[in-house]
Amino acid sequence: LKNDTFLRAARGEETEHTPVWCMRQAGRYLPEFRETRASQDFFATCRSPKLCCELTLQPLRRFPLDAAIIFSDILVVPQALGMEVVMVPGKGPTFTEPLKEVEDLLKLRQKVDVTAELGYVFQAITLTRHSLEGKVPLIGFSGAPWTLMSYMIEGGGSTTMAKAKSWLYRHPEASHRLLRLLADVIIDYLVGQVAAGAQALQLFESHAGHLGPELFQDFALPYIRDIAQAVKSKLKAEALPLVPMIIFAKDAHYALRDLAHAGYEVVGLDWTIRPQEARSQIGKDVTLQGNLDPCALYAPKEKIGELVKKMLEGFGTQRYIANLGHGLYPDMNPEHVGAFVEAVHAHSRHINK
């Protein structure tokens, strides 16, 4: 590995500069991405190892990023359980038959062979790992159980998650059954990604903000903990590398102390919390990742540099991975993404002197 800065920061080792990558760095803000994707359905693209590899590599040809993240989607897991998801232009991912009643759980595959159902992701990871030629580490990922459950019940995006949350209140046992089923698939899926060549893993609890402390404690945190523990023990049992794991629970400030002790080397942060506050809640033994407001990239380049400098001063340059507080938006200027990456490297090197 020619550049292991990201992995060293994740493990809490000293780094010469602060590593940086961006959520959704392979995405629609790049003209070459739009060109590659033009002729194909979104999920057909996800099922093509060759296209996933190409899309993963595109941002690395433009920017000196310190990590690659495999191009895929969190909703491949509900697909593996037998649900149909289509990408509707202008609307986003849509489930043709969302879960409405508890009885609908019986329609889901109760035992999932992840190699049979998600082998295309593993092939994409192996192909990309070879194509990277040790340039930077490759991150694999999955959605977390609550986030996936909310999509499966809502049938797509939602501003309130009221349908999914109503299950937590009305059908707590069935909710736990579904969350357990998802967690078991996610565990095998993440282990499979490491076997295929992933060098770090990120779990996305993107809809944590829709839960308050109590619901999070009951329906999200136990599975987040369990996934970290089970993945690590399976990796050990299968003599696979123990890769660093990142938990990103968006809008879950109320749970930062719990997440710090959930078994992950890195806790990712959204942009709505001050660096110093996050550091004081999480402590010194866990690496932090984040958390520039993605919309800051609409600012002039000089301003981006100032905001990055302030962020680095807040977090400190060690035990820290720079990122945005959420993914890149489709209308962003690639040059501003480059300015963000370069500012992280330049300012962190300067502070480290």
Above 90 in pLDDT, residue 258? yes
Global pTM reads: 0.98
Place of tokens 């409405």: 100
Above 90 in pLDDT, residue 89? no
pLDDT band at 316 (very low <50, low <70, confident <90, very high): very high
pLDDT of residue 49: 98
Residues 201-241: tens digit of each pLDDT? 999 999 999 999 999 999 999 999 999 999 999 999 999 99
Q: Report how far residue 335's alpha carbon sits from residue 266's, in angstroms, rounded to the nearest whole number.
A: 28
Ranges of each domain in the chain: 4-352
DSSP 241-260: ----EEEEETT-GGGHHHHH
| SS3 category, 67 | coil
Determine if the peptide bond prior to 3 is cis (ω within 30°). Answer: no
Above 90 in pLDDT, residue 39? no
The CATH class of the 4-352 domain is alpha beta
Would you name the residues annotated as active-site residues? 24, 28, 37, 73, 151
Above 90 in pLDDT, residue 319? yes
Above 90 in pLDDT, residue 107? yes
Whole-number average pLDDT of the chain: 98
Above 90 in pLDDT, residue 193? yes
pLDDT band at 160 (very low <50, low <70, confident <90, very high): very high
Most distant pair of Cα atoms in the chain: their distance: 62
Spatial contact of 344 and 20, defined as CB atoms under 8 Å apart: yes
pLDDT of residue 343: 98
Above 90 in pLDDT, residue 126? yes
pLDDT of residue 37: 93
pLDDT of residue 308: 98
pLDDT of residue 289: 98
The one-letter code for the residue type at 301 is K
Mean of the pLDDT values across residues 328-336? 98
Q: Report how far residue 174's alpha carbon sits from residue 106's, in angstroms, rounded to the nearest whole number.
A: 11
Above 90 in pLDDT, residue 90? no
pLDDT of residue 111: 96
Residues 19-38: tens digit of each pLDDT? 999 999 999 999 999 999 99
Say if strands 200-205 and 85-88 run parallel, antiparallel, or are unpaired.
Answer: unpaired
Place of tokens 């194509």: 131
